[in-house]
Amino acid sequence: SAERELDAQAAATAIAAAVIDAAAAGALLGPAPAPLPQLRARYRWQLLLKGDDETVRAGARAALAAVAKLGAGVQGAVDVRPWSML
């Protein structure tokens, strides 16, 4: 999430590129605006990686590494087993 929509979109795109490189065997849905695209004055985007356990683990590791490189003012989170996409 980010205070500016373009920053959130750019971060989601960068994370998606890292996930695609690491987990090519999976199916990546997104990046796309979250169902509630703006929450608490922050814009949110999301990705969903589908695949077997090893593919999802590889994608999660790549996503965590990409989140660690995000610029100031941009936040990211990785949920390996989401209960809800809201």
**pLDDT (tens digit per residue) in 9-61:** 999 999 999 999 999 999 999 999 999 999 999 999 999 999 999 999 999 99
For the stretch 37-63, what's the b/e string if a residue is b when 16 or more beta carbons lie within 10 angstroms of its beta carbon?
eeeeebbbbbbebebeeebbebbbebb
Q: Work out the angle between the directed axes of helices 5-22 and 53-68 (0-180°, nearest 10).
A: 140
Global pTM reads 0.89
**47-66 tens-digit pLDDT:** 999 999 999 999 999 999 99
**Cβ pair 16, 29 in contact under 8 A:** no
pLDDT, average across residues 71-86: 86
Given a cut of 80, whether residue 86 has pLDDT beyond it is: no
Strand, helix or coil at 43? strand
